[in-house]
Amino acid sequence: MISGGGTGGHIYPAIAIANAWKEKHPASEILFVGALGKMEMQKVPEAGYKIKGLPVAGLQRSLTLENLKFPFKLLKSLTQASKIISDFNPDAVVGVGGYASGPVLYAAQRKGIPTLVQEQNSYAGLTNKLLAKRAKKICVAYPKMDRFFPADRIAYTGNPVRKDILDLSGKRDKALTYFGLDPAKKTLLVLGGSLGARTLNNAMLADMQKLDTAGYQVLWQCGKFYYQEMRTKLDASGLTSIHLNEFIREMDLAYAAGDVIVSRAGALSVSELSLVGKPVIFIPSPNVAEDHQTKNAMAYVSHDAALLLNDAEAVGALEQKVTELMKDSKLSESLGRNIKRLAKPNAANAIVEEVEQLIA
């Protein structure tokens, strides 16, 4: 059983673990448990797996009616999680983070079923820190995680990523054709995540004329929340070098096309970009628990493996930072080489091996 979700950063690693397990154990059954109304309820079935949903939700930062409902939703989710576990009778339960993983792993631990926590970030979340106390194994993506978890139960596996980005060689020409890009121009790839990032979009709006004037083209994923607004403003600009997308499914081709990449610093993005091995400018979101995106990014910046642009300074500073990299081939090559050294390409299989040991 695999539980968690809420964002692509939780869902895609979970699916990667499931795929790796299924490859080694094709006769086994896998059941996902997610949160009702969250994106895992769509993405997991699309990947070919069964999923059950719990009514669990997170606490809002401000005082709202939803917060008053929280304890009732949590109790209901604990009851339902216990029943799902009893009915499915899993040999092991993997929690990848997100609202649903708390009730499910808690219920599994109370029943004596071995659990594994997969912590994607460099700064552990509260739920995972609590669950890890009774987990048999904690798989992490960054060193020095014994600040949060018992050292004797940590496995440094890395974050599982999609298989199609493990080898981008020979894909550049196909990528340029697919996205309608000019082979004679350098390409900036801008990634704000599946939902989008307001700061990255505003930074693009502020500097897209400068980027065009500098001779660059942009492949821009703006997110579904912002697509119509960005489309209207881009169309009004008349720029043809800016290629706007609500969401990019063919991420292997997007990575292959990019010469420089601008991205948020969510755990999955950072792990994928380390495998891609191209120069990256991280603009961490400040609107996340414990500012963990900045901590994710700094784990790479401190190894001279990426550049950092603070969210508060991004609007108006993007083009200058991009041009710095585009024109400095030595720096670009160094960043790409250094970030690839930090990659963990076999993370999904490593986690599968940890699960196998739990149920051996």
Q: Are 109 and 115 in contact (CB under 8 A)?
A: yes
Consult the annotation and say whether 334 binds a ligand.
Answer: no
What is the token pair recorded at 46?
A: 């699309």
| Spatial distance between the Cα atoms of 18 and 30, rounded to a whole number of angstroms | 7
Consult the annotation and say whether 354 binds a ligand.
Answer: no
Consult the annotation and say whether 104 binds a ligand.
Answer: no
Q: With left for phi above 0 and alpha for psi between -120 and 50, is residue 4 left, alpha or beta?
A: left
Consult the annotation and say whether 28 binds a ligand.
Answer: no
Consult the annotation and say whether 268 binds a ligand.
Answer: yes
Could you give the dihedral angle defined by the CA atoms of residues 237, 187, 198 and 299, in that order, rounded to the nearest 10 degrees? -160
Consult the annotation and say whether 9 binds a ligand.
Answer: yes
Consult the annotation and say whether 120 binds a ligand.
Answer: no
Contacts of 150 (CB under 8 A, 6+ apart): 132, 138
In order, the DSSP letters of 204-266 are HHHHHHHHHHTT-EEEEE--TTTHHHHHHHHHHHT-SSEEEES--S-HHHHHHH-SEEEE---
Consult the annotation and say whether 290 binds a ligand.
Answer: no
| Spatial distance between the Cα atoms of 312 and 351, rounded to a whole number of angstroms | 37
Consult the annotation and say whether 285 binds a ligand.
Answer: no
Q: Are 255 and 165 in contact (CB under 8 A)?
A: yes
How many Cβ atoms from other residues are within 10 Å of residue 238's Cβ?
8
Consult the annotation and say whether 19 binds a ligand.
Answer: no
Consult the annotation and say whether 8 binds a ligand.
Answer: yes
| Spatial distance between the Cα atoms of 275 and 135, rounded to a whole number of angstroms | 29
Consult the annotation and say whether 248 binds a ligand.
Answer: yes
Helix-strand-coil percent breakdown of the chain, rounded to 5? 50, 15, 35
Closest CA to 96 of 74, 113, 77, 118: 118
| Spatial distance between the Cα atoms of 198 and 250, rounded to a whole number of angstroms | 22
Task: Tell me the Cα Rg of the chain.
Answer: 21
- Give the annotated binding-site residues: 7-9, 121, 162, 194, 248, 267-272, 293
- Give the annotated binding-site residues for UDP-N-acetyl-alpha-D-glucosamine: 7-9, 121, 162, 194, 248, 267-272, 293
